[in-house]
Amino acid sequence: MRYKDAGVDIEKADRLVKEISEIARQTLRKEVLSGIGGYAGLFKIEGYKRPVFGATTDGVGTKLKIAFMMDKHDTVGIDLVAMNANDLITTGLEPIIFLDYFACGRLDERIYTEVVKGIAEGCKEAECSLIGGETAEMPGFYKEGEYELAGFCVGVCEESDVIKPSLKEQDIVIGLLSSGLHSNGYSLARKVVFEKMGLKVDAYIEELGKTIGEELLTPTRIYVKAVKALKKAGIKCKGIAHITGGGLLEKPKRLLKSGVSLCLYKDAWEVPAVFRLIEKWGEVPEEEMFRTFNMGIGMLIVCDKEDADKAFEVLKNSGEDPVFIGEVIKGEGEVLIWEGRF
């Protein structure tokens, strides 16, 4: 008996490594010394006087279930990069290298290649290099056609560019729009959509202008270029929040200290239809919606009042559609969602 008879095909894995090496090569920055294929990827650091390094790790969560249901795997890789790179840039670090972990029961060449192509696309958008990863084939551990996906992103910046939240009263909050649910709240979304409403992924929803599956599989936006544009323009961010698990009510609390609160005006932006449908279909309280989902705002950027207009223009010129959505007020470290517009 051979290893292949137990369900692990080493020759197939080796062949796929060569194929994805070509895909990954398209993401490599000039600082990369060695890419996919060796025991470790190497990256040369240049041009920094006092470099600070940082790293993130994250996955895509149960959004993978939508990919399995639709048998569409070319976007979850983008989500994977986004979840890591967007977290990293909140600290002031510039993403430079990315690695992935793909685990399955049986390695399907089509699925695996689609996933890696998505990761490469995400890396290009985040301007970082895919320099390695791990592919684990574990027969009997995962269901046929299913897999787990995790990512790791490393970044660097000058020590003086590290963002240490320092919010004060009258600071301004700028919101960057999301593309939808991004990669959070899918356990609740799936329960509402597929269990309570009994919808199939190919059900066309008029309010969305697409099928529910297409909406739920929309990839997470990557905000790296926008934040780098602010830095290049000399704008010092007082704090940045990537709105993931915990939604708008919980995630921004990481920026706050005793004495100040964040006030967001919910009429300042248009909440995408998918959130209102989930709220309506599932009879989900609005407060729970804001505690679970991003509600149309994927990232918050807080800056000094005097820098707000310039920051807005820089973000707009970088390709974003920024919105003034709130301000820092006297308080006790809370996030308040108020009626009205800022």
pLDDT in tens, the chain (342 residues): 555 544 556 566 667 666 767 787 778 787 776 666 666 777 778 888 999 999 999 999 999 999 999 999 999 999 999 999 999 999 999 999 999 999 999 999 999 999 999 999 999 999 999 998 989 999 989 998 899 999 999 999 999 999 999 999 999 999 999 999 999 999 999 999 999 999 999 999 999 999 999 999 999 999 999 999 999 999 999 999 999 999 999 999 999 988 999 999 999 999 999 999 999 999 999 999 999 999 999 999 999 999 999 999 999 999 999 999 999 999 999 999 998 887
Q: In order of start, what are the domains of the chain with their CATH numbers?
A: 3-161 (3.30.1330.10), 172-338 (3.90.650.10)
What's the confidence (pLDDT) of residue 105?
A: 94
Give the helix/strand (H/E) hosting 274: helix 273-281
Q: How far apart are CA 281 and CA 295, in angstroms?
A: 16
Q: Are 90 and 163 in contact (CB under 8 A)?
A: yes
Residue 211: other Cβ atoms inside 10 A: 17
Q: Are 295 and 271 in contact (CB under 8 A)?
A: yes
Query: Starting from the edge strand earliest in sequence, which strands make up the sheet with 51-59, in order?
Result: 51-59, 147-158, 94-104, 129-137
> What are the angstrom distances between the C-alpha of 216 and each of 82, 165, 206, 289?
16, 32, 15, 16
Closest residue by Cα to residue 295 from 326, 260, 270? 270
Specify which residues 154 forms β-bridges with. 55, 97
What's the confidence (pLDDT) of residue 7?
A: 54
Helix, strand, or coil (residue 39): coil
pTM of the model: 0.93
**Which ranges constitute the DSSP H helices of 173-255?**
186-190, 212-216, 224-232, 247-250
What's the confidence (pLDDT) of residue 5?
A: 45
Helix 109-126 and helix 10-25, axial crossing angle in degrees, nearest 10 = 30
Q: How far apart are CA 120 and CA 22, in angstroms?
A: 10
> What are the angstrom distances between the C-alpha of 10 and each of 13, 18, 114, 116, 308?
5, 13, 20, 18, 55
